[in-house]
Amino acid sequence: MSHIHLSIQDAHALAAACLKANGCNDENAEAIATTIMAAEGDGSAGHGLFRLPGYVASLRSGKVDGKASPSIDRPAPAMVRVNANGGYAPLALEAGRQPLIEAAREQGIAMMALVRAHHFAALWVEIEPLARAGLCAMACTSYMPAMPPAGGAEKLYGTNPVAFGWPRRDAPPMVWDQASAALARGEIMVAARDGHTMPPGVGLDSNGNATTDPKAILDGGMILPFGGYKGSNLAMMVELLAGGLIGEHFSFEAAEHDNKDGGPPRGGEFILAIDPSRLGGDNWLEHSEAFFTRFLSIEGTRMPAARRYANREKLAAEGVDVPEELHGKIVQLTEV
Amino acid sequence: MSHIHLSIQDAHALAAACLKANGCNDENAEAIATTIMAAEGDGSAGHGLFRLPGYVASLRSGKVDGKASPSIDRPAPAMVRVNANGGYAPLALEAGRQPLIEAAREQGIAMMALVRAHHFAALWVEIEPLARAGLCAMACTSYMPAMPPAGGAEKLYGTNPVAFGWPRRDAPPMVWDQASAALARGEIMVAARDGHTMPPGVGLDSNGNATTDPKAILDGGMILPFGGYKGSNLAMMVELLAGGLIGEHFSFEAAEHDNKDGGPPRGGEFILAIDPSRLGGDNWLEHSEAFFTRFLSIEGTRMPAARRYANREKLAAEGVDVPEELHGKIVQLTEV
């Protein structure tokens, strides 16, 4: 596959221009381009420029308002609600970040409810700034039905990611971000291509029976929650926190209301922020560093996000390689 | 195995008498007996009277103060800290429950930090009353090192349970409570006895190599987090929430400070409570009932905790069967 080499700045500018050409105002285009490039620049191409055609599809169909302006209210002292008013999530998340940080510092713990948003990105992008502000943070969001609950063979849950972050001293924050699904669809496609079988518990075939054949999972089957009923319980928790709790759609409702244009459905997100300095003692950061030191002393472990941080440094210096076909498509979408 | 049949009331009285005979004051004995019987009466014998000898061991060694009186403060508006002052968790949790509920209703979201406590029980017992009060609730606690982080072969994490609850309409709350470990030690013992092999990813042998032989896991090996690195990340989150965040021991520190008397080490617990009525709309309960209806319409699913609620009804009417050996031991511990 040939690639087009771009600096981070040029790739950002390309993304922003494409979004503006398709109905985003400057604020939304910049916020989305920043989110896209946070992923692309961390070496996570699947959440990077690869998503841009999906963003454009929903701008063009009119499902998402590229000029939406988020509004914020405070339904309770420790609750910040950000209404994206039918726009994409990035601008709304930016708008809510400082109010959430302030609420967490004032109240000790606070949550943000993101509603009426279209979310199409990774969660670590939202967790990292909170951890950099000295807060412990957790986030989750649902999407459209992709997985059955444990024991069932009918899709109900989205892949429902959960992310968690914790501040470090003299190091970027510890951040993990993981789907409630056993594997990403891309990983199953690679196994199918290479003729490998999957471990048990990863997927069902089109008849709803357990299978280790990646082709059977992809061909009308479905991916399972990770870790059996335990991952399934977590996926249910995500539906309740990012849906029922904040008055937004469950995944099954999101699908029912979606226009199937290929972009993200309307949905919500739950973000939790807690100030460890309130309870952890004056030495709370030293204390958790002692834990991380112990963790890293065990052979074979690595800090979650270590690879992303290494990629970030490398790609900031070297730029990114964008597949020629994707690049051509983005240029085409920008010119129309 | 012969059993002694007892009514729930008689079993409770036996537990309370045993605790009082070993240094508990009335308040602590009643709170612990209530916690023990919540498990025993829900058919979860492993968290029931079976734990009583462990409670007694730490009362006798002097590690735990059976007369400790919990104290409560409010380090921030949405934070309730309950200091068990070196006692067992149940009385402290009872003392903090109403303040936590009130803080969550006032602030929208609130947390409880339980510190200087000895926790030896299941978490659902603490989640259920919060969900019955109309709140969404989450809890987690660490213990002593039992599992390595993913990729490693040295114990660092406790089995680190997480529990989550959500209110139902005309039904007892949805509550799940699960360890971050792939399986309980008891399940591996049963597989060893019956000559079964374990699925991959459950345990390591004494050399730190992956094994599917239950005997090799039990004989100097170790249990792994469920779901590979994803469960391992959750176990890390539990260490940070129930340890670093609230100024309490990480599992490895709990072990270092423990006197190894067989009872629970000193540690902390994190409990989150959120009021769904603040953000979920007037119909929030109807909305989540629609989700549960959809969930239960899928063949093969069952509501978490359904079995416990069924047991509770049955055992409240019929009483419980206590293994004769355990009953004899409790009687003996009570008479001394």
pLDDT single digits (tens) B71-83: 999 999 999 999 9
Band of pLDDT at residue A119, cut at 50, 70 and 90: very high
User: Considering CB atoms only, which of A234, A246, A302 is closest to B280?
Assistant: A246
Segments of chain A assigned to CATH 3.30.1370.60: 70-171+231-304
pLDDT in tens, B168-206: 999 999 999 999 999 988 889 889 999 999 988 999 999
The answer to whether residue B123 scores a pLDDT higher than 90 is: yes
Which among A27, A100, A30 is positioned nearest to A69, based on CA atoms? A27
Model pLDDT, residue A1: 77
Residues of CATH 1.10.1530.10 domain(s) within chain B?
A: 1-67+305-336
Residue range A282-319, pLDDT digits in tens? 999 999 999 999 999 999 999 999 999 999 999 999 99
Q: What is the pLDDT of residue A40?
A: 97
Across the range B15-33, mean pLDDT stands at 98
**Fold exhibited by the domain A182-223:** Wheat Germ Agglutinin (Isolectin 2); domain 1 (3.30.60)
pLDDT for B205 equals 96
pLDDT in tens, A172-201: 999 999 999 999 888 898 899 999 999 889
The per-residue pLDDT for B182 is 96
| DSSP three-state, residue A72 | strand
pLDDT, greater one: A16 or A189: A16
Query: Which residue is closest to A202 within chain B, CA to CA?
Result: B227
Asked if residue B149 lies in contact with residue A301, where contact means CB atoms within 8 angstroms, the answer is yes
User: What CATH fold (topology level) applies to the domain B1-67+305-336?
Assistant: Hypothetical Oxidoreductase Yiak; Chain: A, domain 1 (1.10.1530)
* Rounded mean pLDDT, A323-335: 97
**B67: Cα within 13 Å, side-chain hemisphere:** 6
Among A110, A280, A295, beta carbon nearest to B109? A110
Measured CA to CA, the distance from residue A159 to residue A146 in angstroms comes to 6
Is the pLDDT confidence value at A269 over 80? yes
Interchain proximity A151–B75, CB inside 8 Å = no
pLDDT digits (tens, 9 = 90+) for A208-221: 999 999 999 999 99
Question: Chain A residue closest to B155 (CA)?
Answer: A298
Residue B1: pLDDT above 80? no
- CATH 3.30.60.50 in chain B, residue ranges: 187-224
Fold type of domain B187-224: Wheat Germ Agglutinin (Isolectin 2); domain 1 (3.30.60)
Mean pLDDT of A130-139: 98
Q: In whole angstroms, what is the distance from residue B77 CA to residue B194 CA? A: 54
Chain B positions in Cβ-Cβ contact with residue A113 (cut-off 8 Å)? 279
Looking at domain B70-181+226-304, which of 3.40.50.1860, 3.30.1370.60, 3.40.309.10, 3.30.70.20 is its CATH number?
3.30.1370.60
CATH architecture of the domain with range A1-67+311-336: Orthogonal Bundle (1.10)
Nearest chain A Cα distance for residue B112, angstroms: 10
pLDDT of residue A186: 83
Residues 6+ away with beta carbon under 8 Å from A43: A307, A308, A311, A312, A314, A315
Q: Is residue B235 very low, low, confident or very high in pLDDT (cuts 50, 70, 90)?
A: very high
B182, B226, B281 ranked by CB distance to A247: nearest: B281
Q: Is the confidence metric ipTM above 0.85 for this complex?
A: yes
Asked whether the beta carbons of residue A244 and residue B287 sit closer than 8 angstroms, the reply is yes
E strand intervals along chain A: 3-6, 71-76, 79-83, 109-118, 136-141, 162-166, 174-178, 203-204, 210-211, 222-223, 266-274, 320-323
Q: Which residues neighbour B70 within 8 Å (Cβ) at sequence distance 6 or greater? A: B82, B83, B84, B85, B87, B91, B92, B95, B96
Looking at chain B, which residue has its C-alpha nearest residue A278? B75
State pLDDT tens for residues A29-53. 999 999 999 999 999 999 999 999 9
Q: How far is B8 from chain A (nearest CA, A)?
A: 30
Report pTM.
Answer: 0.97
Is pLDDT of B233 > 80? yes
Task: Give mean pLDDT, residues B257-261.
Answer: 96
* Residue-averaged pLDDT of chain B: 97
Residue B335: Cβ-neighbour burial (10 angstroms; 0-12, 13-18, 19+) = exposed
For residue B26, how many C-alpha atoms fall within 13 Å in the half-sphere facing its CB?
Answer: 0
Question: What's the fold here for domain A70-171+231-304?
Answer: Ribosomal Protein S8; Chain: A, domain 1 (3.30.1370)
Tell me what pLDDT residue A276 has.
98
What are the structure tokens assigned to B185, written together?
A: 């030690």
Q: Which of A73, A82, A236, A302 to mutate to test the interface with B (most CBs of B within 10 A)?
A: A236
pLDDT value at residue B133: 98
- All CATH 1.10.1530.10 domain ranges of chain A, comma separated, are 1-67+311-336
Query: What sign results for the dihedral spanned by CA atoms B295, B300, B305, B311?
Result: positive
pLDDT digits (tens, 9 = 90+) for B131-140: 999 999 999 9
Chain B, residues 279-308, CB within 8 A of chain A, namely 279-281, 284, 287-288, 290-291, 294-295, 298-302, 304
CATH 3.30.60.50 region(s) of chain A? 182-223
User: A140-161 pLDDT, tens per residue?
Assistant: 999 999 999 999 999 999 999 9
Q: Are strands A222-223 and B203-204 parallel, antiparallel or unpaired?
A: unpaired
Give the model's pLDDT for residue A244: 98
